[in-house]
Chain A
Amino acid sequence: MIAIIDYGMGDLRSVQKGFEKVGHDAIVTSNYKDILSADGVVLPGVGAFKDCMRNLREGGLIDTIHKVIDDAKPFLGICLGLQLLFTESEEFGIHKGLNIIKGRVMKFSFNTPNSELRTLNLKIPHMGWNNIGIKRRHPVFENIPDNSYFYFVHSYYVIPEDDSVIASTTDYGVEFVSSISKDNLFACQFHPEKSQELGLRMLKNFGDICSVNNSSN
């Protein structure tokens, strides 16, 4: 069983249905017992960084997430669920994140007067299908070709201090980090649950990792 952490932010139903579609059971839950007993944990999320952190705190879920990471349980962060892992975000002021990955969350900026990217008419949010350049193979990428397209919608992107966590990068005016991995943790800026066939394959890969992990315990 996979636990999708519910902390009142965004559409969790698509993630759950995505797992079901590829044959993995998933529950949407805010109960720490469910989360700690799951074979794998997903932290999704859309909305504002500050609100998400507040909801996690008020739901008593911050310690739970740290425990999941420490227990080496398979962990998948999606979109804001990637950004929240970082040290801090500059979204509407500086806000502390979970600090599981050292680094910052920055806003795309193209329209400053002297920016050479100004003429490209790049829009914010970065919204739509973009390809990922895979930097490091990870079981989640099983049967996912390099340069595959995934669906993105975000205005902020992560900058890890340690380049070795970078799993893929994507070009949008700048080359930004579109997914990271470290030990049991994988997190992506794009939405696998909205990325049609290849997105579902990623969810399946993650579910398979969880199952293997469970049977080996």
Chain B
Amino acid sequence: MLTRRIIPCLDVKDGRVVKGVKFLNLRDAGDPVDVAEIYDREGADEITFLDITASHENRNIIIDVVYRTAERVFMPLTVGGGIRTLDDIRNLLKAGADKVSVNTAAVNDPEFVKRASERFGSQCIVVAIDAKKISGQWSEKLRTPNSELLRWEVFTHGGRNSTGLDAIEWAKRMEDYGAGEILLTSMDRDGTKEGYDIELTRNISEAVGIPVIASGGAGNLQHLYDGFMEGKADAVLAASIFHYREYTIKEAKEFLRAKGVNVRL
């Protein structure tokens, strides 16, 4: 049986891990390669680097990080952040990334996803969707048990720019355009540690036939469980609960397995 995946995510800026990662016995907790190696050893199912480097000149640093990671870590690696062109994708894949995630570039030019998946294959094109709940002002569809009307809108630039796109429709369209996977982040939950937006995750996961990764809000192991079982996510992404060593990957998997979730241990 296919197992559900747990994916630690590292924010990388100018080639360094940001948001303090607290590892004991780590030569350099700021080096993404060293941190990736730890997660590899602990049995993480994949790893994701989110490049938040602002300056254009330093954008090639991530290529070097990926290059060095591929020499030491033999697990699937996804890289996101600032990807604009087919050349950006090619350079990352050549350096050793298995998947790239695109966000703003897809919103700006949806055909970019089509070109990328035709060129490199759907399996390596992840579309990242940052979604925010918009309630009350829409008369359409989704009705929760307490009759609240729900809709989610796609945002870019860390939740600052609204796009007017409906997140569910957008996810379906991205699937049609050849996306191989959706990385779904709730902007309402991101950083709150209150758990994933379950309604959002389930609605998207049931609307598309490609895998969906839940992201934004994981604060404890029960949240991971809820993401899988209630949210129907195929994978869950988490940062701080692993980086701060609140839980190891192994502890997370043991917890999930004990509750009947099929994970790889």
Identify the A interface with B (CB < 8 A).
10-11, 13-14, 17-18, 21, 46-48, 110-111, 121, 123-131, 149, 151-155, 171-172, 193-196, 199-200
Contact A13 B95 (CB under 8 A): yes
Q: Which of A18, A125, A151 contacts B76 (CB 8 A)?
A: A151
Query: Does B243 lie at the interface of the complex (its beta carbon under 8 Å from any beta carbon of A)?
Result: no
Please indicate the chain A residues that have their CB under 8 angstroms from the CB of B211 in the complex.
123, 125, 127-128
Contact B93 A14 (CB under 8 A): no
Please indicate the chain B residues that have their CB under 8 angstroms from the CB of A152 in the complex.
2
Query: Does B108 lie at the interface of the complex (its beta carbon under 8 Å from any beta carbon of A)?
Result: no
Q: Which of B43, B70, B206, B264 contacts A17 (CB 8 A)?
A: B70
Question: Assuming the A-B contacts A11-B93, A13-B95, A128-B3, are A121 and B206 also in contact, with contact meaning beta carbons closer than 8 angstroms in the complex?
Answer: yes
Please indicate the chain A residues that have their CB under 8 angstroms from the CB of B206 in the complex.
121
Q: Interface segment, B57-65, B121-129, B147-155, B159-167?
A: B121-129
Q: Which of B95, B118, B181 contacts A127 (CB 8 A)?
A: B181
Classify the secondary structure of A's interface with B.
mixed
Which one of A123, A131, A172, A195 has the highest number of Cβ atoms from chain B below 10 Å of its Cβ?
Answer: A123
Question: Assuming the A-B contacts A121-B206, A127-B180, A131-B1, are A193 and B74 also in contact, with contact meaning beta carbons closer than 8 angstroms in the complex?
Answer: yes
Query: Does B40 lie at the interface of the complex (its beta carbon under 8 Å from any beta carbon of A)?
Result: yes
Contact B94 A13 (CB under 8 A): yes
Shortest Cβ gap from A65 to chain B (Å): 21
Classify the secondary structure of B's interface with A.
loop
Query: Does B223 lie at the interface of the complex (its beta carbon under 8 Å from any beta carbon of A)?
Result: no
Contact B96 A13 (CB under 8 A): yes
Please indicate the chain A residues that have their CB under 8 angstroms from the CB of B87 in the complex.
none
Shortest Cβ gap from B85 to chain A (Å): 18
Q: Which of B4, B70, B74, B209 contacts A199 (CB 8 A)?
A: B74
Contact A194 B75 (CB under 8 A): yes
| Given pairs A123-B211, A194-B98, 17 additional interface contacts (CB within 8 A) | A10-B121, A11-B70, A13-B96, A17-B71, A17-B96, A121-B232, A125-B180, A125-B210, A126-B2, A127-B180, A128-B234, A151-B75, A153-B76, A154-B123, A155-B123, A194-B76, A199-B74
Shortest Cβ gap from B136 to chain A (Å): 30
Shortest Cβ gap from B46 to chain A (Å): 8
Please indicate the chain A residues that have their CB under 8 angstroms from the CB of B215 in the complex.
none
Q: Which of B40, B94, B208, B209 contacts A11 (CB 8 A)?
A: B94
A10 to B70, CA, bound (A): 14
Which one of B98, B120, B234 has the highest number of Cβ atoms from chain A below 10 Å of its Cβ?
Answer: B98
Please indicate the chain A residues that have their CB under 8 angstroms from the CB of B3 in the complex.
128-130, 149
Shortest Cβ gap from A29 to chain B (Å): 16
Shortest Cβ gap from B203 to chain A (Å): 13
Shortest Cβ gap from B36 to chain A (Å): 12
Please indicate the chain B residues that have their CB under 8 angstroms from the CB of A124 in the complex.
209-210
25 contacts between A and B (CB under 8 A): A11-B70, A11-B96, A11-B98, A13-B70, A14-B96, A121-B206, A123-B212, A123-B234, A125-B181, A125-B210, A128-B45, A128-B211, A129-B2, A129-B3, A129-B45, A130-B1, A131-B1, A149-B3, A149-B264, A151-B76, A152-B2, A155-B123, A194-B76, A194-B98, A196-B40
Contact A129 B97 (CB under 8 A): no
A130 to B98, CA, bound (A): 18
Contact B121 A47 (CB under 8 A): yes
Query: Does B239 lie at the interface of the complex (its beta carbon under 8 Å from any beta carbon of A)?
Result: no
A84 to B50, CA, bound (A): 34
Shortest Cβ gap from B106 to chain A (Å): 18
Query: Does B205 lie at the interface of the complex (its beta carbon under 8 Å from any beta carbon of A)?
Result: yes
